[in-house]
Amino acid sequence: MRCKIGIRWAGQLLAKHQQVYTHQSCRNYRVDLVTKRLTYSEYGIPSDVVSLVEENLTCQLEPKQVLVKFLVSPVNPADINVLQGTYPMRNPLPATGGGEGVAEVVATGEDSDLSVGDWIVPDKPSSGSWISHLVTHEDYWIKVRNDIPEVTAGTLQINPCTAYRMLKDFVNLSPGDWVIQNGANSGVGQSVIQIAKSMGVKTVNIVRDRKEIDLLKEKLTVLGGDLVLTEEELRSSQLWRSGQLAKPVLGFNCVGGPSSTELCKVLANSGVLVTYGGMSRKPMIAATSHMIFKDLQLRGFWLGQWCMRQGKSEARLEMYEKVTELASKGELLPPDHQFVQLEDYREALDKTLAGFLPAKYVFKIN
């Protein structure tokens, strides 16, 4: 069996990085190139502890190994927490930053089940995706469809999949049911709106008040949000007390503090409130009466833990298939984003650390 290499990639990489490819046979396939990656060896202020390094990658492709090139990789708030040392999941140091991204197979070793041109995403969370090239065993990856936008493929593993699991795993939702969420303009929040719409489920979407609130409300409505309210509007609303709207059976909380209490007030009896974040850094608050007289269930969800438990289970692979299918049909749009190069990492890290970005920073890896 001969090893496989993408002709387009070979030409581009030879010209750009003076890389040497020998592919008389898979056993003799030689990788010789320069990689770029963002690495850190201690925890602290992200832009202080991260550095851009270039390294020679020289090896023979063994059977079942693949050479891949990352296409895009986002900067997520969780990536910032990892660099700060406050995230529950830690990699041995020194490590490469980045929790998700999409790569393209450039070449394969003997007997590989992957093919040149396949798009793949890392199997494990926080695996280090801020890197240009990588040689690994094919088991390191999960194949995804390559007929969707690069940004969608590179950002599907965290926000859309968190939304998908929360909509699927806690309440058996039926078309016409209502779901309520705070932080509705977040990445997960926007995914909830779109995935819920594809299920025929209606959404109440709570956001912070701001100067351009009407534009934000319009944006979330265009995505498919049925009702968009500010925190203040939710507190004063009579929509549920009057019976004008059916009470939500499921709620998603990523804020905490008083915001979570307001969700509890609106939820239907025996409703479920799932907490997946705490942007206010305040405890999740539910009144005693919510627990006794409404019989609410308070649950938590962390996608990283779910994925680690699942491995490459049918449920996980089906999740990627369903999410990318929605993207291919235009029912799940890529997040607002701003492309940057790896060399511009300080800007991306500092502004993500500051929060409240108008768009997600995404490394476009050339």
Provide the pLDDT for residue 297. 96
Q: Are residues 226 and 345 in the same domain?
A: no
Q: Are residues 29 and 121 in the same domain?
A: yes
Q: Are residues 148 and 232 in the same domain?
A: no
What are the structure tokens assigned to 37, written together? 């990656």
Provide the pLDDT for residue 28. 56
Contacting residues for 294 by C-beta, under 8 A, at least 6 apart: 264, 267, 268, 269, 270, 271
Question: Distance (Å, rounded) from C-alpha 359 to C-alpha 210?
Answer: 16
Q: Is residue 318 domain-resident? A: no
Read off φ and ψ for residue 36, nearest 5 degrees.
-120, 140
What are the structure tokens assigned to 327, written together? 């993207």
Q: Are residues 120 and 201 in the same domain?
A: no
Burial of 326 (0-12, 13-18, 19+ CB in 10 A): buried
What are the structure tokens assigned to 230, written together? 């500010």
CATH code (residue 56):
3.90.180.10
Widest pairwise Cα distance in the chain: 75
Provide the pLDDT for residue 22. 37
Q: Is residue 233 domain-resident? A: yes
Provide the pLDDT for residue 354. 87
Q: Are residues 229 and 203 in the same domain?
A: yes
Under DSSP, the state recorded for 246 is P
Say how far residue 19 (Cα) sits from the centre of its chain. Answer: 32
Q: Is residue 25 domain-resident? A: yes
Q: Would you write out the chain's pLDDT as a tens digit for each of its 366 residues? A: 445 555 334 434 433 333 433 333 455 578 999 999 999 999 999 999 999 999 999 999 999 999 999 999 999 999 999 999 999 888 899 999 999 999 999 999 999 999 999 999 999 888 899 999 999 999 999 999 999 999 999 999 999 999 999 999 999 999 999 999 999 999 999 999 999 999 999 999 999 999 999 999 999 999 999 999 999 999 999 999 999 999 999 999 999 999 999 999 999 999 999 999 988 889 989 999 999 999 999 999 999 999 999 999 999 999 999 999 999 999 999 999 999 999 999 999 999 998 767 789 999 997
Residues designated catalytic:
87
Q: Residue 97: give the domain boundaries.
A: 4-155+334-364
Read off φ and ψ for residue 288, nearest 5 degrees.
-55, -40
Q: Which of 285, 304, 323 is the last residue of a domain?
A: 304
End-to-end CA distance of the chain: 30
Q: Are residues 96 and 236 in the same domain?
A: no
CATH code (residue 253):
3.40.50.720
Q: Are residues 71 and 210 in the same domain?
A: no
Q: Is residue 321 domain-resident? A: no
Number of domains in the chain: 2
